[in-house]
Amino acid sequence: MNAVEITNHYIRQASELMGLGSRVERLLLSPEAEHHVSVPIELDNGDVAVFSGFRIQHNSARGPMKEGLRFHPSVDADDVRALASLMTWKTAVVNIPYGGAKGGIACDPAALSTGELERLTRKFTQRIGSEIGPQRDIPAPDVNTNAQVMAWMMDEYSRLHGYAPAVVTGKPLELQGSEGREAATGRGVVHVIEQALRDTGRSIAGATIAVQGFGNVGAYAALLAHHRGARIVAVSDASAAVMHADGLDVPRLFTDFAVPRRALAEYQDDGVVRLEHEELLTEDVDVLVLAALGEVLTEQVAKDLRARMVVEAANGPTVPEADAILAHRGIAVLPDILANAGGVTVSYFEWAQNIQSMRWTEEEVNRRLEQVMLDSYRTVRGLVEQRNLTWRTAAYIVGLGRVAKATVLRGV
């Protein structure tokens, strides 16, 4: 199954249980619009390179469409289509007034200079400029994009349409970004972990956690869980997986590796051992956090997995065969559309502050984020308990239910 087939599989599974019917199901499966653009830029050496860019707008029944822009060599239409659909369900699960969209440019950002990245971002913004907007589609950072990329997008869009900070979120604080946005996805992940452990009679203090992916989401999740007393025994990035049975020095890893984006392969410390990438996924821990890319939890990993709980901080990390095995083994998988919704939630707070020309404090943002995450978690948990469903199916039922109602009320 490719990424879209995987997402559609989960949608159909939930839709069948809900008895939505093929009429509504058909509406929910089809993206509203797909923009494929070519993005030519002049390279520093005077040559010209042409990149493929995508913005796929999945569903706007509940509001303007929202979320990430990804720079990665593996970006293709199929990938972006699946991620756009996930955003529709995620914004509905946390009940914020948005639909779902996703964008990407197939490129290797590590091979581009800062000037080339800026030209790429600006040209892409020109190409899709008439399709996005504060009341239409609001991009945000995702893999390999950050506050600087959002600043370039905002500037380019504002040149064409007038000053419009609300056109993107995840901006720098100096350009109407929100306090708390950078840490928001990781923070939301930790709220979910803490509550899920509490529900099984455990505390996050003393729990063992392994984290795949040590970028924005994984590093903040590790750091905030560490601050709550969890023992982070293993983390990995694309370069290496490192482990310390007594717990890694997460604050040091955060400051010396995550912040400057230094490869974990360079990390050495007393008692730290190297793992194969796959070994991290099958470590004997209380919680496995997946915070890298999609489709990493395969059928074989699901069979060998020893964690008591899996938390999808990344989008689409579990393939359906693995999902079925874990359900059969009674291992809870807290799905992406719930667990990593903290990022889009604070993006919504940023947009809400921008359109009102207001600023909230970090405490205010974090307090509201915690409330949204815990309310959403409890809504999904209610269905899990009532109908004996997996967390994923329950979350899809919540999301699909809200989008389907809005779709029917608005009409075809």
Q: What are the residue numbers of the active site?
A: 102
Nearer to ligand NAD, 139 or 141 (CB): 141
Nearer to ligand NAD, 70 or 119 (CB): 70
CB 51 → ligand NAD: shortest distance, Å?
A: 18
| By CB under 6 A, residue 4 contacts ligand NAD | no
CB 355 → ligand NAD: shortest distance, Å?
A: 20
User: Are the CB atoms for 205 and 228 separated by under 8 Å?
Assistant: yes
CB 409 → ligand NAD: shortest distance, Å?
A: 28
Nearer to ligand NAD, 59 or 91 (CB): 91
User: Are the CB atoms for 159 and 122 separated by under 8 Å?
Assistant: no
Task: Return the CA Rg of the chain.
Answer: 20
Residues in CB range of 310: below 8 A, 6 or more apart:
287, 288, 290, 297, 318, 326, 331, 332, 333, 334
Binding to ligand NAD (CB under 6 A): which residues in 373-402?
none
CB 261 → ligand NAD: shortest distance, Å?
A: 8
CB 41 → ligand NAD: shortest distance, Å?
A: 21
Provide the phi-psi class of 76: left if phi over 0, else alpha when psi is between -120 and 50, else beta: beta
Give me the residue label for tokens 């310390």: 244
Which of 214, 348, 360, 391 touches ligand NAD by CB under 6 A? Answer: 214
Helix (H) or strand (E) holding 61: none
Write the binding mask 302 to 321 for ligand NAD: x where contact by CB under 6 A, - elsewhere.
Answer: -----------xxx------
| By CB under 6 A, residue 213 contacts ligand NAD | yes
Residue of 409, 354, 402 lying closest to 88 (CA atoms): 402
Dihedral sign of CA atoms 197, 198, 199, 201 in order:
positive
Write the binding mask 217 to 256 for ligand NAD: x where contact by CB under 6 A, - elsewhere.
Answer: xx-----------------xxx------------------
User: Are the CB atoms for 48 and 118 separated by under 8 Å?
Assistant: no
Q: Are strands 273-275 and 241-243 parallel, antiparallel or unpaired?
A: antiparallel
| By CB under 6 A, residue 125 contacts ligand NAD | no
Q: How far apart are CA 341 and CA 346, in angstroms?
A: 9
C-beta nearest to ligand NAD: residue: 215
Binding residues for ligand NAD (CB under 6 A): 141-144, 185, 212-218, 236-238, 277, 291-293, 313-315, 340, 343
